[in-house]
Homo-oligomer: A and B are copies of this chain.
Amino acid sequence: MDSTAKLIELFKEFPGIGPRQAKRFVYFLLTRPNGYASELSKLIGEVKSHVVCCDTCFRFFARNGNPVTTCPVCRDEKRDGKTLMIVSHDVDFENIEKTGSYNGYYFILGGTVPILEKNPEKRIRQKDLLELIEKKVARGTLATEGLSEIIIALNYNPEGENTLTYLSQILRPLAEKHNIKISTLGRGLSTGTELEYSDSDTIKNALKNRQ
């Protein structure tokens, strides 16, 4: 297999990219000036070496040459240490952070628990999460401002709901022991929802949570 065919194979692994678009990517690179391809090539290497996984919240962040292992959000002491939000992926973190309406800390699960999964602990960073909470609780006690709420912020779909149920169970002992509230994102009408096309769960939630 020549390098063109190999490159097409690699592009085919990109999320959402089929064989036709993978080939188009190669032709696109061929028709661009050499500078574009070499810049792309260089940046791919750079990103892989400069971006690391935070040792606290496990999201990716650019180290930018510094020898740090903790991301700027986790290092930011002005954030509210009383809340911890659990999300599945980095993009969820980004999207929530963009709203500017949350000022606590985060934890990236790194996945979700599929329904009927036999080894849920292999799908998400369960051990790291429990350790982080223990650490926060310990620190909090000393500093008289301990963790008081864990927000589980997952997609409202079957796999997200299953992960929520699983997380609630494994977090309950710790939560009860240290008097931490476990909350989830509110349910109701989301932007664009039309009642005519809504399912019963959404309408029930919207009624129950009316304001």
Interface residues of A, Cβ cutoff 8 Å to B? 2-4, 6-7, 10, 13-16, 21, 23-30, 32, 34, 36-48, 50-51, 60, 62, 64, 87-92, 95-96, 98-99, 101-102, 151, 153-157, 160, 183-196, 198-211
Contacts and interface: CB of A to CB of B under 8 A. Distances in A.
A116 to B, nearest CB: 20
Taking chain A's interface residues, is the majority helix, strand, or loop, or is none over half, making it mixed? helix
Contact of A195 (B23, B95, B151, B203): B95
20 contacts: A2-B50, A3-B62, A7-B47, A15-B25, A24-B91, A29-B47, A37-B44, A38-B48, A88-B195, A92-B195, A96-B195, A96-B203, A151-B207, A156-B189, A185-B207, A186-B210, A187-B206, A188-B188, A190-B198, A191-B202
Nearest to A26: B47
Nearest to A50: B3
Contact of A196 (B89, B200, B208, B209): B89
